[in-house]
Structure 1
Amino acid sequence: MAETPLAFEIVTFVVLAVFFAVDLFVVGRKPHVPSTAECVRHIAFFVVMALIFGGFIWYFAGSKPAIEFYSGWLTEYSLSVDNLFVFVIIMSNFAVPKELQKYVLSVGIAFALLFRGVFILVGAALIERFTWIFFIFGAFLIYTAIKLAAGGDEDEEYHENGVIHLLRKVIRISDEYDGEKLRTTRDGVRYWTPMLIVFLAIGTTDVMFAFDSIPAIFGLTKDPFLVFTSNVFALLGLQQLYFLLGALLDKLVYLPAGLSVVLGFIGVKLVLEALHGNTLPFINGGKPVAWAPEIPTWLSLAVIVVSIGGTALLSVVKMRSMQGDSSAQ
């Protein structure tokens, strides 16, 4: 397997930086509710760019890393869609005005990229030094998959964490928003606006999602370049996806089941890979476990596509069936 050329990686980082700057700080800074056509154009553009990028990786480095990228991108994109459920709840709980939601999402996505970047660097360093970390990653993903399958996230409401709850007690926070401002003045008194709380809520939520996201992607590829680019492409266009899906998010009833299958599969894959490189003395005398099966990259991609695509299709079928039943009454 060939490695991606350094020049290609540098150009990729520059192009992605431009994409992110335009997506978040040019388009995203324009306070408005985007139309359906605008959302579709943005999402389609970034999806096509991700597909083309995977083609470049195939050309420069071969089929295996390209398939790893596509697998990682689809997994991260699916987890990002799941992240939108929580964003919807946060926006609703804090009554963020519609015209400001695009700006809030821009900041939230920037937070997500920052936190995931840190987690990627830490994860890559840990994996390089301690291969047994895959046991922990795998166990965590399997636990998350079981929790999703058991309906642990159904009808979940957002609850303020301790930091935000404490913050409300120690600083003055106004009841109303003042555009995009974090600080405002009322009757000569300076207040923080609810925008500060919204940013903290979304930021801490991004940290929690990074705990799922980064172990999952490392279960598909160990290349930090592929890990990072798959995350970036999954976050690009996410704010438009938020408005496009909108009320449809709570109707994608089978999506958690699809994510459960994907995370469980990747968790098992990580445990098997940890067995292959085992050095823990209490497992097989500290020697690699030769009988542990290897899961090929193409099978990972197939499981992800079938699980996410199948559950999304079943959700749409159920939604249309319910609409047909209601109209027939």
Structure 2
Amino acid sequence: MVVLTIILIGDLLLIRLRPHIPSTKESTLWVVFYVGLALLFAVLLGNVAGWRNAGDFITGWALEYSLSIDNLFVFVLIMAQFAVPRRLQQQVLMVGIIIALILRGAFILVGVTIVEHFSPIFYIFGAFLIWTAIRQAMPDGDHEGEVQRENFVVRLLRRRIDISEEYDGSKLRTTVDGKRMWTPMVIVFITIGVTDLIFAIDSIPAIFEITTNGFLVFAANIFALMGLRQLYFLLGDLLDRLRYLHYGIAVILGFIGVKLILHALHENELPFINGGQHVEWVPDIDNMVSLGVIVVSMGVATIASLIASSREKRAQRVGPTVE
């Protein structure tokens, strides 16, 4: 974790000192680096703490990485809505990731405590994830709705403080006609912070089905978020073509929600369910099955999206047929 912290600080300083638009090659190398780092961590973890823990970490990391991709769609909308200059987007994303790490760390600490002392919480987590999956799969459950929810915060903020119309580099404060004002960057940071809070509420309950080990949960979140900034620039316009990705995420959330409820039945302590006894007949789904569902769901959704996009482009090139 010390090494990761050093990398995170170094990455932040690099962006601060040299704001730029990363090339596809640079973004690819960074994504490969962070994925490789996660796999290396899993190998070290397997040798030190056992391969079961390593398997739980990999499954948790894959889950959080998949759900974190959903953040990217909202980040794209936020950047567009507030017209963030492209050369400043790296810094915005990095701040967003740091906010996400802090929020998720707090949620993990609270979640581990609740899970240890109140096992029926898994029923609540499971029901919440199933509801989130249904909302994710709905036609009107698009990412623009997430941004609209933050608009209330933005409107409230504009009423309370003076905000300039133009950016002043990456500065939060600027001077306009001799008056000190906040720049639009402060709104962007707050909007991303609120977005991170919403996604933390969705993702943390999901990973508790994989493992309740606080260290593994936090490690999986760190590794999932570390390469998110580079993935944003690597995917670029491809995000607009991944039209079915939300269905893949819905399947994952629904599956994990069901698995949480099954786990809750295994650990049941509620007196009105089976007389307060454990329900032994419910199936116990292995984490390797969960990993398979995550990979297949994301893979199918991605391939289906790209095929649909390719067909649409071909149809546009051919044009309407004349009868």
* TM-score interval (norm. to shorter): over 0.9
Distance between the aligned counterparts of 2:281 and 2:185, measured in 1? 54
The reply to whether residue 233 of structure 1 matches residue 229 of structure 2 is: no
Q: What is the CA distance between 1:29 and its match in structure 2?
A: 5.0
SS of alignment partner, residue 236 of structure 2? helix
Unpaired segments of 5 or more residues in structure 1?
1-12
Please point out which of 101, 104, 108 is paired with 2:96: 108
1:9-51 CA-to-partner distances (Å, cap 9, x unmatched) read: xxxx111112222233324652111111100010011111111
The residue type paired with residue 88 of structure 2 is L
Q: Could you tell me how far apart the structure 2 residues matched to 1:151 and 1:286 are?
A: 40
| Deviation at residue 144 of structure 1 after TM alignment | 0.7
Deviations 1:208-252 (A, max 9, x none): 000111011111111111111110111112111111112111211
Q: Which amino acid aligns with 1:327?
A: R
CA contact (8 A) 1:28 1:102 kept: no
- Quick one: which of 249, 255, 264 aligns to 2:245? 255
Deviations 1:116-175 (A, max 9, x none): 110011100100110011111111100011111223433625223433221111211110
Q: CA deviation at 1:279?
A: 1.1
Residue 217 of structure 1: aligned partner: 207
What is aligned with 1:194?
A: 184
302-311 vs 315-324, which moves further: 315-324
Q: Check whether the contact 2:168–2:183 (CA below 8 A) recurs between aligned residues.
A: yes
In 2, the alpha carbon distance for the partners of 1:275 and 1:42 equals 42
Spell out the pairing of 1:174-193 with structure 2 (5 A cutoff): 174-193=164-183
The corresponding residue for 1:8 is none
Please tell me whether the aligned partners of residues 56 and 210 of structure 2 are also in contact (alpha carbons under 8 angstroms).
yes
Q: Please report the TM-score for the alignment, with normalisation by the length of structure 2.
A: 0.94
Corresponding letter in the other structure for 1:245 = L
- What corresponds to 1:41 in structure 2? 29
Deviations along 1:80-109, one digit per CA (max 9) or x if unpaired, are 111011111111111111111111111111
Q: Displacement of 1:189 after TM fit?
A: 1.0
Which of 308-317 and 154-163 deviates more? 154-163
Q: Which moved more, 1:253-262 or 1:311-320?
A: 311-320
Amino acid at match of 1:208: I
Aligned counterparts of 1:19 and 1:153: Cα–Cα separation in 2: 36
Tell me which amino acid in the other structure corresponds to 1:221: T
Matched, 1:127 2:97: no
Relative to structure 1, is the Cα distance of residues 33 and 58 closer, same or farther in structure 2, using a 3 angstrom cutoff? same
Q: What is aligned with 1:278? A: 268
Within 5 Å, which residues of 2 pair with 1:53-64?
A: 53-64=41-52
Helix, strand or coil at the partner of 2:144: coil
Aligned pairs (5 A) from 1:103-182: 103-154=91-142, 156-157=144-145, 158-159=147-148, 160-182=150-172
Corresponding residue to 1:90 among 47, 54, 78: 78
* In the alignment, structure 1 residue 70 sits paired with structure 2 residue 58: yes
Tell me how large the CA RMSD over aligned residues is: 1.5
| Structure 2 counterpart of 1:204 | 194
Q: Which moved more, 1:133-142 or 1:146-155?
A: 146-155
